[in-house]
Amino acid sequence: MCALSMNSIFLLTVELLNFHSLQSDLVNHCCSFPLRQHVRSLVVLCLCCRLRMSAEENPAAEPAPVIDVQGDGRWMSQHNRFVQECKDAEPDVLFVGDSMVQLMQQYEVWRELFSPLHALNFGVGGDTTCNVLWRLQNGELDNIRPRVRKRFFFICSNSFNSICYEVKCVFNAGIAFLFVFPQVVVLWVGTNNHEHTADQVAGGILAIVQLLLSRLPKCKIIVLGLLPRGEFPNPLREKNAAVNNLLRTSLPQLGPVQLIDVGGGFVHSDGTISSRDMFDFLHLTASAYRTISTSLHELLLQLLEETPQERRASLV
């Protein structure tokens, strides 16, 4: 067994953090299995602590509205519309993010795959993690109405309580009214955080996830990974990849959260991105949206399936 001092372990941990790698050959070859596991645990802990910075330490996790430099108030108007939609809709799925989310609603794939799932689209072009945090903290989650489902029960007592944990249940004359809150939130934001480092962007996304879990504690969350951008390899593409790597390590620590990599097929073997997939080498075309939406739709269907408890309640 290799005898490493605490100082050596600390230096090794810092080195691993700098390279964002939990599978370092240095760890694998220099440490025995038990020590290797401790080192990796320490790396995960340090990563999570580093990403969960407060707003004072991480500017990407500080809620902020968009400054209306153009003077037409469009951003605030969109926010107010979303707040109103919360009052009028009964969503099962909530999409939140920037233009990647917003543009999805303009294509047929939205009406074909996501509208039937009772989905709301709260995407705003140009938004950063700061803007999404502000919107969610200022009304966009406050008035979401639960969707009502009826279940008929042939029972003489209203003491039946083993209802699915996503719902609230009220009995009236043998009918159970199930008030179903949004079960899944799809989050896609971060590519517009140009002024922030990869660590800060990942921390901002984590702050949004933590807010969603606190406000909608029974929901499941899907975080879509940041897409590669630019026709040719460039620093912003590398930064987005680094954000995804950080999220892949830290998101599982938060709860029912999944990270989905939706950009793996858009970079060709020569490192280029085609305009057939991204018309401006950033935003997706209709065919590219369909490519990523198929697997996302399948996952949403799985997450929206009735739980065993709800199925049992339906059959009583």
- Given the residues 99, 127, 250, 277, the one annotated as active site: 99
283 is known as an active-site residue = yes
196 is known as an active-site residue = no
Report the distance separating Cα 286 and Cα 118, nearest Å: 21
Report the distance separating Cα 236 and Cα 270, nearest Å: 17
- Given the residues 20, 21, 261, 283, the one annotated as active site: 283
DSSP the chain: -----HHHHHHHHHHHHHHT-SS-HHHHHHS-HHHHHHHHHHHHHHHHHHHS--TTT-GGGS--PPP-SSSS-HHHHHHHHHHHHHHH---SEEEEESHHHHHHTTSHHIIIIIGGGTEEEEE-TT--HHHHHHHIIIIITTTPPPEEEEEE---S-S------TTEEEEEETTEEEEEE---EEEEE--TT-TTS-HHHHHHHHHHHHHHHHHHSTT-EEEEEPPPP-SSS--HHHHHHHHHHHHHHHHGGGTSSEEEE---TTSB-TTS-B-TTTBTTSSSB-HHHHHHHHHHHHHHHHHHHSPPHHHHHHHH-
User: Under a CB-based contact definition with an 8 Å cutoff, are residues 9 and 32 in contact?
Assistant: no
Give CA angle at 311 (209, 162), nearest 5°: 75
Residue with tokens 């007592």: 157
- Given the residues 32, 162, 280, 287, the one annotated as active site: 280
79 is known as an active-site residue = no
User: Under a CB-based contact definition with an 8 Å cutoff, are residues 99 and 128 in contact?
Assistant: no
What positions carry a catalytic annotation? 99, 280, 283
